[in-house]
Protein backbone atom coordinates (compact mmCIF):
# COMPACT_ATOMS: atom_id res chain seq x y z
CA UNK A 1 0.00 0.00 0.00
CA UNK A 2 1.32 3.42 -0.95
CA UNK A 3 1.87 5.81 1.94
CA UNK A 4 -0.32 8.90 2.00
CA UNK A 5 -1.46 11.57 4.46
CA UNK A 6 -4.79 13.27 3.88
CA UNK A 7 -6.03 16.37 5.67
CA UNK A 8 -9.60 17.63 6.06
CA UNK A 9 -11.25 14.37 5.02
CA UNK A 10 -14.79 13.50 6.06
CA UNK A 11 -16.42 16.47 7.78
CA UNK A 12 -13.27 18.57 7.54
CA UNK A 13 -11.81 17.49 10.89
CA UNK A 14 -10.15 14.25 9.87
CA UNK A 15 -6.53 13.24 9.44
CA UNK A 16 -6.12 10.01 7.50
CA UNK A 17 -2.78 8.19 7.32
CA UNK A 18 -2.56 5.32 4.86
CA UNK A 19 0.21 2.76 4.85
CA UNK A 20 1.21 -0.71 5.97
CA UNK A 21 3.12 0.34 9.11
CA UNK A 22 2.75 3.40 11.34
CA UNK A 23 5.85 4.00 13.44
CA UNK A 24 6.63 6.76 15.90
CA UNK A 25 9.60 7.09 18.25
CA UNK A 26 7.45 8.83 20.88
CA UNK A 27 6.74 7.01 24.14
CA UNK A 28 3.21 8.38 24.69
CA UNK A 29 0.07 8.44 22.54
CA UNK A 30 -2.44 10.94 23.93
CA UNK A 31 -6.12 11.05 22.95
CA UNK A 32 -7.60 14.13 24.57
CA UNK A 33 -10.96 15.68 23.64
CA UNK A 34 -11.47 18.72 25.91
CA UNK A 35 -15.25 18.49 25.65
CA UNK A 36 -15.23 14.96 27.09
CA UNK A 37 -13.03 15.63 30.11
CA UNK A 38 -14.58 15.20 33.55
CA UNK A 39 -11.98 17.44 35.10
CA UNK A 40 -9.42 19.95 33.91
CA UNK A 41 -5.70 19.44 34.15
CA UNK A 42 -3.61 16.32 33.89
CA UNK A 43 -2.48 14.23 30.95
CA UNK A 44 -4.58 11.78 28.96
CA UNK A 45 -2.17 9.02 27.94
CA UNK A 46 -4.00 6.36 25.98
CA UNK A 47 -0.96 4.22 25.13
CA UNK A 48 2.48 4.38 26.73
CA UNK A 49 5.65 2.48 25.92
CA UNK A 50 6.56 2.22 29.59
CA UNK A 51 9.84 1.87 31.45
CA UNK A 52 9.49 -1.93 31.72
CA UNK A 53 9.32 -2.17 27.90
CA UNK A 54 5.61 -2.91 28.18
CA UNK A 55 2.58 -1.31 26.55
CA UNK A 56 0.32 0.37 29.11
CA UNK A 57 -3.29 1.28 28.26
CA UNK A 58 -4.81 4.22 30.18
CA UNK A 59 -1.44 4.87 31.81
CA UNK A 60 -1.70 5.87 35.49
CA UNK A 61 -5.51 5.84 35.20
CA UNK A 62 -5.44 9.10 33.22
CA UNK A 63 -8.94 8.39 31.86
CA UNK A 64 -11.28 8.33 34.89
CA UNK A 65 -13.96 6.59 32.83
CA UNK A 66 -11.74 3.52 32.47
CA UNK A 67 -11.21 1.28 29.45
CA UNK A 68 -14.18 -0.17 27.53
CA UNK A 69 -14.04 -3.15 25.17
CA UNK A 70 -16.87 -3.15 22.64
CA UNK A 71 -16.36 -6.72 21.44
CA UNK A 72 -14.73 -10.03 22.34
CA UNK A 73 -11.30 -10.00 23.96
CA UNK A 74 -8.87 -12.76 23.01
CA UNK A 75 -5.81 -13.05 25.26
CA UNK A 76 -2.85 -15.20 24.21
CA UNK A 77 -1.04 -14.96 27.56
CA UNK A 78 -1.96 -14.82 31.24
CA UNK A 79 -4.37 -12.30 32.76
CA UNK A 80 -2.82 -11.06 35.98
CA UNK A 81 -4.72 -9.56 38.92
CA UNK A 82 -2.35 -6.76 39.87
CA UNK A 83 -4.25 -5.54 42.96
CA UNK A 84 -4.50 -8.92 44.65
CA UNK A 85 -3.28 -9.06 48.26
CA UNK A 86 -0.60 -11.47 47.04
CA UNK A 87 -0.09 -9.43 43.85
CA UNK A 88 0.17 -10.29 41.08
CA UNK A 89 -1.97 -13.40 40.62
CA UNK A 90 -2.87 -15.27 37.48
CA UNK A 91 -6.58 -14.47 37.19
CA UNK A 92 -7.21 -17.59 35.11
CA UNK A 93 -5.91 -19.73 37.97
CA UNK A 94 -8.04 -17.79 40.48
CA UNK A 95 -11.17 -18.46 38.41
CA UNK A 96 -10.23 -22.13 38.03
CA UNK A 97 -9.81 -22.40 41.80
CA UNK A 98 -13.27 -20.93 42.38
CA UNK A 99 -14.80 -23.37 39.88
CA UNK A 100 -13.04 -26.30 41.55
CA UNK A 101 -14.39 -25.22 44.95
CA UNK A 102 -17.92 -24.98 43.58
CA UNK A 103 -17.67 -28.44 42.02
CA UNK A 104 -16.39 -29.95 45.27
CA UNK A 105 -19.04 -28.28 47.46
CA UNK A 106 -21.60 -30.71 48.93
CA UNK A 107 -25.17 -30.65 47.67
CA UNK A 108 -26.28 -29.23 51.02
CA UNK A 109 -24.53 -25.96 50.16
CA UNK A 110 -26.61 -25.60 47.00
CA UNK A 111 -29.76 -26.14 49.04
CA UNK A 112 -28.66 -23.47 51.51
CA UNK A 113 -28.07 -21.02 48.66
CA UNK A 114 -31.55 -21.77 47.31
CA UNK A 115 -33.13 -21.17 50.72
CA UNK A 116 -31.19 -17.93 51.09
CA UNK A 117 -32.36 -16.79 47.65
CA UNK A 118 -36.00 -17.53 48.54
CA UNK A 119 -35.61 -15.66 51.84
CA UNK A 120 -34.26 -12.60 50.03
CA UNK A 121 -37.14 -12.74 47.56
CA UNK A 122 -39.60 -12.82 50.46
CA UNK A 123 -37.96 -9.80 52.09
CA UNK A 124 -38.07 -7.91 48.80
CA UNK A 125 -41.77 -8.76 48.40
CA UNK A 126 -42.48 -7.26 51.83
CA UNK A 127 -41.47 -3.83 50.53
CA UNK A 128 -43.60 -4.26 47.39
CA UNK A 129 -40.64 -4.91 45.13
CA UNK A 130 -39.49 -7.72 42.84
CA UNK A 131 -36.12 -8.99 41.67
CA UNK A 132 -35.32 -8.75 37.95
CA UNK A 133 -34.86 -12.36 36.72
CA UNK A 134 -32.11 -13.51 34.32
CA UNK A 135 -34.47 -13.90 31.38
CA UNK A 136 -32.93 -15.63 28.39
CA UNK A 137 -35.62 -15.07 25.77
CA UNK A 138 -38.47 -12.65 25.11
CA UNK A 139 -40.83 -15.58 25.60
CA UNK A 140 -39.54 -15.97 29.17
CA UNK A 141 -40.05 -12.24 29.75
CA UNK A 142 -43.68 -12.60 28.69
CA UNK A 143 -44.56 -16.04 30.08
CA UNK A 144 -41.80 -17.11 32.47
CA UNK A 145 -40.19 -20.53 32.22
CA UNK A 146 -42.09 -23.73 31.46
CA UNK A 147 -42.86 -24.46 35.11
CA UNK A 148 -43.10 -20.86 36.26
CA UNK A 149 -40.93 -21.67 39.26
CA UNK A 150 -37.49 -20.34 38.35
CA UNK A 151 -38.18 -17.50 35.90
CA UNK A 152 -41.37 -15.53 36.48
CA UNK A 153 -42.91 -13.34 33.82
CA UNK A 154 -42.56 -9.57 33.93
CA UNK A 155 -46.29 -9.07 34.46
CA UNK A 156 -46.40 -11.44 37.44
CA UNK A 157 -43.55 -9.44 39.01
CA UNK A 158 -45.34 -6.16 38.40
CA UNK A 159 -42.88 -4.87 35.80
CA UNK A 160 -43.59 -2.97 32.61
CA UNK A 161 -41.25 -3.92 29.76
CA UNK A 162 -39.74 -1.73 27.06
CA UNK A 163 -37.95 -3.75 24.37
CA UNK A 164 -34.98 -2.28 22.55
CA UNK A 165 -32.38 -3.44 20.07
CA UNK A 166 -28.65 -3.12 20.68
CA UNK A 167 -28.63 0.27 18.97
CA UNK A 168 -31.07 1.67 21.53
CA UNK A 169 -34.12 1.71 19.25
CA UNK A 170 -37.40 0.99 21.04
CA UNK A 171 -39.82 -1.70 19.91
CA UNK A 172 -43.17 0.02 20.45
CA UNK A 173 -45.62 -2.28 22.19
CA UNK A 174 -44.99 -5.90 23.07
CA UNK A 175 -44.48 -9.21 21.28
CA UNK A 176 -48.19 -9.47 20.46
CA UNK A 177 -47.77 -6.54 18.05
CA UNK A 178 -45.21 -8.40 15.95
CA UNK A 179 -44.93 -11.61 14.05
CA UNK A 180 -43.51 -14.15 16.54
CA UNK A 181 -40.48 -14.71 14.33
CA UNK A 182 -39.61 -11.01 14.58
CA UNK A 183 -39.39 -10.66 18.35
CA UNK A 184 -41.06 -13.32 20.46
CA UNK A 185 -38.40 -16.02 20.14
CA UNK A 186 -35.40 -13.71 20.16
CA UNK A 187 -32.78 -13.98 22.87
CA UNK A 188 -32.35 -11.37 25.56
CA UNK A 189 -28.94 -9.68 25.41
CA UNK A 190 -29.30 -7.90 28.77
CA UNK A 191 -31.73 -5.94 30.88
CA UNK A 192 -31.53 -2.49 32.43
CA UNK A 193 -31.30 -2.66 35.40
CA UNK A 194 -29.48 -6.02 35.29
CA UNK A 195 -30.78 -9.34 36.56
CA UNK A 196 -30.66 -9.63 40.34
CA UNK A 197 -31.65 -6.00 40.94
CA UNK A 198 -34.57 -5.36 43.32
CA UNK A 199 -37.02 -2.87 41.79
CA UNK A 200 -40.37 -1.50 43.00
CA UNK A 201 -43.41 -3.12 41.39
CA UNK A 202 -44.62 -0.89 38.59
CA UNK A 203 -41.09 -0.11 37.41
CA UNK A 204 -40.19 -0.15 33.72
CA UNK A 205 -37.46 -2.62 32.80
CA UNK A 206 -35.60 -2.16 29.53
CA UNK A 207 -34.96 -5.49 27.81
CA UNK A 208 -32.40 -5.43 25.02
CA UNK A 209 -32.95 -8.19 22.46
CA UNK A 210 -30.41 -9.72 20.14
CA UNK A 211 -30.49 -8.29 16.63
CA UNK A 212 -29.71 -11.70 15.17
CA UNK A 213 -30.37 -15.25 16.27
Q: Is residue 168 part of a domain?
A: yes
Q: What is the pLDDT of residues 28-75, one digit of tens each?
A: 999 999 888 887 778 899 999 999 999 999 999 899 888 888 888 787
Full residue range of the structural domain in which residue 147 is found: 127-209
Q: Are residues 204 and 132 in the same domain?
A: yes
Domain with 154 in it: what CATH number? Answer: 3.30.10
- pTM value is 0.43
* Spatial distance between the Cα atoms of 92 and 72, rounded to a whole number of angstroms: 17
Q: What is the pLDDT of residues 134-172, one digit of tens each?
A: 999 888 998 888 765 678 899 988 999 988 888 888 876
Q: Is residue 75 part of a domain?
A: no
> What's the confidence (pLDDT) of residue 57?
92
Q: Is residue 77 part of a domain?
A: no
Least Cα distance to 5 among 23, 22, 18, 24 occurs for 18
Distances (CA, A) of 197 to 134, 163, 203: 10, 18, 12
Average pLDDT over residues 13-19: 87
pLDDT band at 176 (very low <50, low <70, confident <90, very high): very low
- Report the domain count for the chain: 2
Residue 143 φ/ψ region, left for φ over 0, alpha for ψ in the -120 to 50 degree band, beta for the rest: alpha
Does 181 score more than 50 pLDDT? Answer: yes
Amino acid sequence: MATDIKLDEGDGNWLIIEGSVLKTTASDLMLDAPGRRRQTGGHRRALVHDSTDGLSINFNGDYPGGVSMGGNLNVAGDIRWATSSSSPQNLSQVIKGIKDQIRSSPALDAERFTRLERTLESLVALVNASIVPPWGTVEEVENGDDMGMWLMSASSLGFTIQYRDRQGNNFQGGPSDYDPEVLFYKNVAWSEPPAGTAMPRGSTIVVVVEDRQ
